[in-house]
Amino acid sequence: MATKLNAHELDELNATDLEAKLREAKEELFNLRFQAATGQLDSNGRLRVVKKDIARIYTVVRERELGIRTTPGTNEEAKA
């Protein structure tokens, strides 16, 4: 089960690691939704945390596309 992610932790990941985290979070969200539908879900708060984690990952990816955040391993001076 994944833990709550923050944007600073996501900044340190490269694109492939972000994709892996996103895939994990989506899989966990699917499982949580399935558990909720069958009445087996113990903590509804976990659904909210996982959704927010997915949103954070998408935000970091989009900000990198726009050049707001830098991808780890790239040099700031090389862009200037």
pLDDT tens, position by position, for the chain (80 residues)?
Answer: 556 778 788 888 999 999 999 999 999 999 999 999 999 999 899 999 999 999 999 999 999 999 888 888 776 545 54
Does 14 reside within a domain? yes
**What CATH code is carried by the domain that includes residue 18?**
1.10.287.310
Residue 4 has a pLDDT of: 78
What is the dihedral sign for C-alpha 31, 34, 39, 45?
positive
Please say whether the beta carbons of 50 and 28 come within 8 A: yes
Does 2 reside within a domain? no
Does 11 reside within a domain? yes
Residue 39 has a pLDDT of: 93
Residue 2 has a pLDDT of: 54
What is the extent of the structural domain holding 26?
7-66
- Contacts of residue 49, Cβ cutoff 8 Å, sequence gap at least 6: 4
